[in-house]
Amino acid sequence: MTTNDKTGGPAFPVTPTDKSGQIAPTECGMTLLDDFAAHVAQGLLANPVWAEKAGPSDGISRLFRSQISQASFLIAQDLLAERERVMKELNQ
């Protein structure tokens, strides 16, 4: 599946139906970009090098939080771009 949406679309797409079986309106929820960024942040924070920069768990600085957030979304955008490239290649 390819998409022009820069967020990658919904991370966990479903087609909800109401009690009568009709397709119900949906809320998008978390995007694939959000999901990728969350996994990247988790990996960065699990890395001992980053953890050392953070200091005590109750004293994580604003600068450090900002760096993790920015890095997570930049890497997530790269993951989406690579996913799009691979999907196009597979569909040729």
The DSSP letter of residue 4 is S
**0.85 exceeded by pTM:** no
Q: What is the pLDDT along the chain (92 residues), one digit of tens a residue?
A: 445 578 888 777 666 676 777 766 666 678 899 999 999 999 988 887 766 666 665 556 677 778 889 999 999 999 999 999 999 999 87
| pLDDT for the residue numbered 11 | 76
3-state SS, residue 7: coil
Q: Give CA separation, 77 vs 31, 61, 85, in Å.
A: 12, 25, 12
